[in-house]
């Protein structure tokens, strides 16, 4: 028997280059961006609430979804082997990738083997995560994003800022401007009506769809017992890519498995209502390997680890692998609504990103993300698979490296708080110290808080106010009654 193989962290676009507060600063100061995000998240919150409220068994569906995913995680190795056997028997070829670079190498090699120098792409978080477009470009292969929002982001030479709507940070006028600048065939009098912009995208991509030889997709679900892959979409760009080319390469994270085809009855109800706030998304495609005479005849599946084994190894953080990428947690998050997606650095923004990215990379590499939250719990309430995001955030904060000054301060505080006598004395001392200052500030501004402390307290007040101690404690007041 060989040595056990340790789970490994991942690579790709899942690391914050800057600490979250630094990265969020320009976004928070940008009124246009905040207006765009506010309008979009408010719209989607209302749509979701309406279609979720009309489902009488919503909580039962969430319970089932959560349990199915927990079962998948527990049986992941055997289910992967079962999926591999099913989809291989159906005529597809399965490839395995330890990390982002290996996944990219496989897709490049398959594209070259098909004799193509361009691919059409269905929107996919996994390919964004592994930075596939950059790898294809470096290999001389042009990658064309076909989802409208991905197209906007690609033409704008930007990066996605939302899981479902990567261009959520743009309004219609900004999108028209990008189209006019980057689409050679766009009408000169293009209006900024969404219908006109959608029409421009249709015209722009039509010929490419009809002539494409290789498509690259992700998958929302991979069914172990049948070998079926599922892609959920709206525009029909997914259907085009999944149907017309001769070669189809799907990049799928290992956590995307479902045990049985019947399990789709839960997830195909949870996902659209949580995601776009519709009863059902316009198009869902399912394919099982190769169907002679119908769709791609050269079908590949690339199963990607890239840090997922490291997430699986933490029993508390493991449920992050249940995520079905609906983005409901982004849309309700007060931090996301103000900071936007780019501040999270990773392709996975918002509350789910704050727990997933640090686990994929190891917490030390994304140490600021578990703090990008107020722990209000709204994300947990809307999560269709009931991931307890606040609990995992707190768990990851405990793992994050803390600066020596903070550790020392917390050590002193814990010594003080262990004894009621020491605690009462400390409060008296704090009140005596803050008294004149508080009275001054009260007189000047009427506030019972301090905006700025000198170093090292400045680390606290940079992003928060410091409440001043009250004139008496509850115990003192109680003693007098």
CB of 414 to other proteins, least distance (A): 29
CB of 302 to other proteins, least distance (A): 10
Query: 17 in helix, strand or coil?
Result: coil
H/E stretch holding 466 reads strand 466-467
- Would strands 466-467 and 283-288 be described as parallel, antiparallel, or unpaired? unpaired
Cβ closest to other proteins, residue 38 vs residue 452: 38
Task: Please provide the DSSP assignment of 100-153 as one string.
Answer: HHHHHHHHHHHHHHTT-SEEEE---HHHHHTTHHHHHHHTT-EEEE-SHHHHHH
CB of 440 to other proteins, least distance (A): 48
Which among 269-277, 336-344, 345-353, 447-455 is the span making contact with other proteins, rule CB under 8 A? 269-277
Helix axes 389-399, 350-361, angle to 10 degrees: 40
- Helix %, strand %, coil % of the chain (to 5): 55, 10, 35
Cβ closest to other proteins, residue 262 vs residue 374: 262
Q: Which two tokens stand for residue 404?
A: 């020596």
Q: Map the footprint of other proteins across residues 243-262, applying CB under 8 A.
A: 243-244, 254, 261-262
Q: What is the CA radius of gyration of the chain?
A: 25
Q: Interface mask (CB under 8 A) for other proteins, residues 288-307, using x and -? A: x--x-xxx-------x-x--
Asked if residues 360 and 12 have their Cβ atoms less than 8 Å apart, the reply is no
Number of residues that bind other proteins (CB under 8 A): 104
Q: How far apart are CA 153 and CA 33, in angstroms?
A: 15
CB of 113 to other proteins, least distance (A): 18
Q: Is 93 in the site for other proteins (CB under 8 A)?
A: no
Angle at 258 between CA 253 and CA 262, to 5 degrees: 150
Q: Map the footprint of other proteins across residues 186-245, applying CB under 8 A.
A: 194-195, 197-199, 201-202, 205-206, 209-210, 223, 226-228, 234-237, 239-240, 242-244
Q: Interface mask (CB under 8 A) for other proteins, residues 94-113, using x and -? A: -xxxx---x-----------
CB of 344 to other proteins, least distance (A): 20
Q: Map the footprint of other proteins across residues 417-456, applying CB under 8 A.
A: none
Cβ closest to other proteins, residue 46 vs residue 439: 46
- Would strands 221-223 and 214-217 be described as parallel, antiparallel, or unpaired? unpaired
Q: Is 60 in the site for other proteins (CB under 8 A)?
A: yes
CB of 215 to other proteins, least distance (A): 13
Cβ closest to other proteins, residue 99 vs residue 365: 99
In the set 90, 183, 394, 450, which binds other proteins (CB under 8 A)? 90
Q: Please give the order of strands across the beta sheet that includes 93-97.
A: 93-97, 298-304, 247-253, 214-217, 118-121, 142-145
Whole-number Cα distances in Å, 320 to 70, 99, 308, 389: 10, 18, 10, 8
Q: Map the footprint of other proteins across residues 175-194, applying CB under 8 A.
A: 175, 194
Burial label, 46 (beta-carbon count in 10 A; 0-12, 13-18, 19+): exposed
Nearest to 249 by CA among 125, 86, 99, 122: 122
Cβ closest to other proteins, residue 202 vs residue 397: 202
Query: 38 in helix, strand or coil?
Result: helix
CB of 401 to other proteins, least distance (A): 23
Q: Is 387 in the site for other proteins (CB under 8 A)?
A: no
Q: Map the footprint of other proteins across residues 143-172, applying CB under 8 A.
A: 146-149, 152, 165, 167-168, 171-172
Q: Is 57 in the site for other proteins (CB under 8 A)?
A: yes
Q: Is 265 in the site for other proteins (CB under 8 A)?
A: yes
In degrees and rounded to multiples of 5, residue 412 shows phi and psi of -65, -45
Q: Is 31 in the site for other proteins (CB under 8 A)?
A: no
CB of 216 to other proteins, least distance (A): 17
Nearest to 133 by CA among 111, 104, 109: 104
Q: Is 309 in the site for other proteins (CB under 8 A)?
A: yes
CB of 95 to other proteins, least distance (A): 8
């Amino acid at each position: 028997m060989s040595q056990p193989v340790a789970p490994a962290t991942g690579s790709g676009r899942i690391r914050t280059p800057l600490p979250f507060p630094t990265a969020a600063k320009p976004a928070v100061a940008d009124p246009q961006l905040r207006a765009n995000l506010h309008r979009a998240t408010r719209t989607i919150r209302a749509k979701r609430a309406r279609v979720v409220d009309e489902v009488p068994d919503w909580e039962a569906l969430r319970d089932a979804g959560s349990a199915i995913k927990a079962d998948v995680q527990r049986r992941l190795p055997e289910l992967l082997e079962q999926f591999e056997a099913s989809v291989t028997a159906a005529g597809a070829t399965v490839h395995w990738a330890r990390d982002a670079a290996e996944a990219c190498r496989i897709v490049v090699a398959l594209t070259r083997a098909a004799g193509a120098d361009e691919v059409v792409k269905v929107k996919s978080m996994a390919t964004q995560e592994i930075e596939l477009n950059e790898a294809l470009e470096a290999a001389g292969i042009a990658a064309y994003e076909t989802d409208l929002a991905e197209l906007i982001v690609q033409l704008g030479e930007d990066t996605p800022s939302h899981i479902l709507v990567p261009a959520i940070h743009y309004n219609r006028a900004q999108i028209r401007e990008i189209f006019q600048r980057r689409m050679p065939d766009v009408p000169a009098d293009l209006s900024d009506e969404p219908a006109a912009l959608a029409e421009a995208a249709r015209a722009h991509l039509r010929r490419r769809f009809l002539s494409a030889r290789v498509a690259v997709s992700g998958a929302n679900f991979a069914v172990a017992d049948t070998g079926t892959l599922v892609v959920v979409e709206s525009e029909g760009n997914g259907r085009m890519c999944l149907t017309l080319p001769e070669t189809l390469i799907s990049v799928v994270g290992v956590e995307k498995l479902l045990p049985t085809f019947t399990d789709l009855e839960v997830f195909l109800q949870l996902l659209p209502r949580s995601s776009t706030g519709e009863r059902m998304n316009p198009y869902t495609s399912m394919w099982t390997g190769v169907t002679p005479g119908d769709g791609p005849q050269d079908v590949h599946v690339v199963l990607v680890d890239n840090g997922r084994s490291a997430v699986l190894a933490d029993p508390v953080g493991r449920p992050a692998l249940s995520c079905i990428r609906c983005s409901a947690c982004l849309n309700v998050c007060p931090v996301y609504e103000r900071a936007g997606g780019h501040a999270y650095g990773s392709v996975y923004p918002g509350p789910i990103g704050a727990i997933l990215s640090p686990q994929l990379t190891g917490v030390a590499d994304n140490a600021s993300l578990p703090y990008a939250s107020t722990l209000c719990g709204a994300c947990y309430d809307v999560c269709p698979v009931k991931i307890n995001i606040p609990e995992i955030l707190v768990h990851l904060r405990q793992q994050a490296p803390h600066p020596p000054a903070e550790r020392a301060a917390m050590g002193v505080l814990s010594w003080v708080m262990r004894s009621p006598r020491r605690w009462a004395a400390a409060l008296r001392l704090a009140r005596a110290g803050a008294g004149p200052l508080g009275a001054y500030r009260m007189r000047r501004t009427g506030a019972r808080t301090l905006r700025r402390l000198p170093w090292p307290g400045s680390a606290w007040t940079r992003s928060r106010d410091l409440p001043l101690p009250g004139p008496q404690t509850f115990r003192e007041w109680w003693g007098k009654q």
